[in-house]
Structure 1
């Protein structure tokens, strides 16, 4: 359970063909992307607990939402790039908590990913109906991760997921660094570009509001 809580915390905040013409690129303001989540080989002992885990990315204008479903522990991140705030919702086996990140905290977190650079590779493949190219992402701390992204779709709001603000398209497969170099993988299974209801970004009821320090104690 502690591993699940730690992994969720690290995700705060969670991607084309080489000859695709520039005119084929479509700027999108609304999207709903569903991903399946795969564990790294060294974490297979937790496979039963993680079975069926998923991630969903919602985008609507200056708002975005990330749902991480780890079965017994679920996270929801509500991100507003206009007000520069984040609301984190955690459901830990029925214990529900809400944590707010103000503008100062938002800007501090944003700085972590401003220096992330992506280097394109030759490898390409099709994911969820889109041709994707591989890139290697490198964070300022030197850690690297793989990503396959489509240049056919360009987010109108590049801060919808701050990890990918410097990526030239939408990521449809990517690695998530979880601990000591271990990486889990999110792979898109469906891309829906229909309008996302505004209610998707409403704060749900029934969550107890706590501070960041209280959250750290819960995660151990």
Structure 2
């Protein structure tokens, strides 16, 4: 009798844990971007918005004068970058070869739980430390209550056991920006959000973009 009762309790605990988790196909998550001191005024008060829809995802990064959009198609293994810099609009395509190369780099990122927890945007989150292939580390708080259906919606977190609601982005200079979720919406995101514009943008290569910035 006791053995049967123990088995029942274990089953209830497991089913309760599974029920708490939600497989996410469609979502919109809005994050605020917190910059380190001595940041240029034009980059203060930025936002990052993550959209998901099946094998499609989109990241919008908004600053005062510059807007970036990344349209990711994990089925076609492609990324389209849109840049609006003071009204100058550029479009950059990355095909399967480049997509696969970057995916391989991100799969080397390992996450280790750090034991701390906190609530963010209404969700219980666990702290983890991400370690990159070059040895650099960054903090992330993720919720195990939300599991992305498409693990490649944001390849940076392909090995994470949930959806990140706070994380650090390491800049080329080595400084870190903190990104914190302020709102999580789980609804059917319109497919048009992931359409690549046919007009209004000048298509250039990454090399051309680098020359423009030099």
Q: Same fold (TM over 0.5)?
A: yes
Deviation at 1:61, TM superposition (A): 0.2
User: 1 CA distance for matches of 2:212 and 2:51?
Assistant: 27
Deviation at 1:72, TM superposition (A): 0.9
Give unpaired runs (5+ residues) of structure 1.
1-19
Give unpaired runs (5+ residues) of structure 2.
1-15
Residue in 1 that maps onto 2:106: 113
After superposition, residues 61-210 of structure 1 pair within 5 angstroms as 61-204=54-197, 205-210=199-204
Aligned counterpart in structure 1 of residue 34 of structure 2, from 34, 38, 46: 38
Structure with the greater alpha carbon radius of gyration: 2
The alignment yields a C-alpha RMSD, in angstroms, of 1.2
Deviation at 1:73, TM superposition (A): 1.2
Deviation at 1:180, TM superposition (A): 3.1
Deviation at 1:111, TM superposition (A): 1.3
Matched residue of 2:188: which SS?
coil
Aligned residues: 198
Deviation at 1:49, TM superposition (A): 1.7
Tell me the TM-score normalised to structure 1 length: 0.87
CA contact (8 A) 2:80 2:91 kept: yes
Structure 1: which 4+ aligned runs deviate by more than 6 Å?
A: none
